[in-house]
Chain A
């Protein structure tokens, strides 16, 4: 028994030892690879394709950061993490950044000592039920068995929602999205709940997506975004402004198609500053002048990433909604590049 305690303590001490490293950017440059934490597989957001290449909306953010820092969008080591392991992986230094549809909350930011660098998807928790149950509102779910992905904010929202509406339910905690699918399809639970984007992605993978409906209620705010460790502000800035560059590029009309042309110089000073032909923004970040150009070329601007991975023309079929640019009535609003 003594040995068990000892081994446990060694593991913990080992985990904690990794946390002390500070200059993440130097580590990434020395390694020549970015270690990016993603989900274990959620179609559209992060999943390996038929060739084993990681692909998706969150993956696009990782590739953009790798392109900005290392000049190579493929210099990324993707580390699949579950809802449970993601924070330990980031805190221990196993990964440099986490892009795993993670909700920005107060306690994660302040108490867990992480730095959310922005929001790349405005989401909310929803419910999916089989059509044959004839349910049209989440408030009719009294007594239902609900499958939840454990280790997320969803189980807390769920408890709050049912308590606030004074109806009962039976929670079935499930470790990953993949394990939840067969349980839901076999009927071991009546309802599956997670972020609405996740529901759309899960439903797209079903044999008959039309047999299932997503209920209209959105019971929480889930701003999803990439995050880094607290205390390394230089690295935090790099990830934050790479994300902002993708968003600003869409707003300014910079796409992967016209970027080569625009990078030669334009009449718009903001585009010039963004693409590094004017000013020295790259130098301030400790990167090359063309950092943002590389990031945008990796997978396109924010709008392109959205359309190719989760947009209306993909099986996931999400509309922009809140995730449209502020000029189109959405919430995306990048601070100015100046």
Chain B
């Protein structure tokens, strides 16, 4: 005789929301969500009613009006008659410029320092430890101010270049390093220069193809193809040939002292250099620690196994340790990139017109639209940060340990 027990009836009782583990977490999450929405709604309603009481409103019409102020550092066309919106875009581009250059520099310095902190050489190891401890334990704003002050105090000003027996002179007659920034010769593209550029780009592509071909040959057939000298040759020879064949279409425009400042050439402003450099070396100290942690996370057995296969120390680091360390390094590296980008909002301390300086600074001040400007500012920074996260997460997925 077999007994059959009926499956328990699936009638749903309200108490299950609390007592049943299947529903409990949803219940609390739902309550938390309601509370959050209610809080935001309360704050929003409070804001709007108080603004109405003060006779103010939320309006973004000011974005279309002429800004009326000038910006020294700009990547796109802008003058004082451009709109506030365009001023904000100039600011965004300036922020991105600092962020991109800063992240790149910070990564290069950080990886080098992180690897050198594990060096067998006592002196190098200690110097790197001192660097890391000094830079990550002093606020970044102070670094920005110190570097700017040193920059202005040490380097000569344009007026020192003037006269017969000038105190300062240009390097090779074409580079001027002044307290206001660096002036470089600027290439001027003549007719036919497009072909030279195209040849240059083609040889870059050629170098990449050569390297991937060599790698494939190594993996498939165990054949070593030398890449260093052919790469160097590919880099220089075709473009120099094309340059002379086309009759030297690219000339240089040298900076010259005219009036108060140097004119002509490329000008890298002191505020841009000081800010980028300060952010880069500050963040690099943190990245160095991430890199060190990542390398130490790779078990020593890996290094020893690679050594027993006859690999040299440089190759062990590049081929065995770093690829495995990357999966530990990348996630905190994303945070450091985000930190650097957000820290760039300290730019106004050295007079660099980033997003906080234009939209959150002068525009906010001249229009008095504080709430609108701050909300827009938050939106811009949120977008930039989320984009960096998204890009880095794609890279992280590419390098993380493939588990099957």
Contact = CB atoms under 8 A, between A and B. Distances in A.
Interface of A: 1, 4-6, 8-10, 12-13, 15-17, 19-20, 83-84, 87-88, 91, 107-108, 111-113, 132-133, 141-145, 150-152, 155-156, 158-160, 162-163, 169-175, 182-183, 186-188, 190, 230-231
B360 to A, nearest CB: 9
Contact of B259 (A112, A113, A143): A143
A144 B260 contact: yes
B254 to A, nearest CB: 17
Interface stretch (B149-157, B233-241, B318-326, B328-336): B149-157
A174 B351 contact: yes
B250 interface: no
B54 A231 contact: yes
Contact of A190 (B53, B70, B153, B260): B260
A186 B46 contact: no
A6 B374 contact: no
Interface in B383-401: 385-386
Contact of A150 (B46, B152, B361): B361
B191 interface: no
Contacts of B194: none
B224 interface: no
Contacts of B84: none
Given A186-B157, A188-B270, 12 more contacts: A6-B39, A12-B370, A13-B46, A17-B50, A83-B365, A87-B365, A143-B261, A156-B68, A173-B361, A182-B149, A188-B179, A190-B260
Q: Most chain-A Cβ atoms within 10 A of its Cβ — which of B39, B70, B180, B364?
A: B70
A155 B44 contact: no
B386 A183 contact: no
A298 to B, nearest CB: 31
Interface of B: 36, 39-40, 43-44, 46-47, 50-51, 53-56, 68-72, 79-81, 149, 152-153, 157, 159, 179-180, 258-261, 263, 270-271, 348-349, 351, 353, 357, 361-362, 364-368, 370-371, 374-375, 378, 382, 385-386
Contact of B54 (A19, A150, A170): A19
Contacts of A175: 348-349
A159 B69 contact: yes
Given A84-B361, A143-B261, A170-B72, A107 B149 contact: no
A227 to B, nearest CB: 13
A69 B196 CA distance: 78
A8 B261 contact: no
A9 B157 contact: no
Given A113-B55, A171-B70, A171-B71, A188 B370 contact: no
Nearest to B47: A13
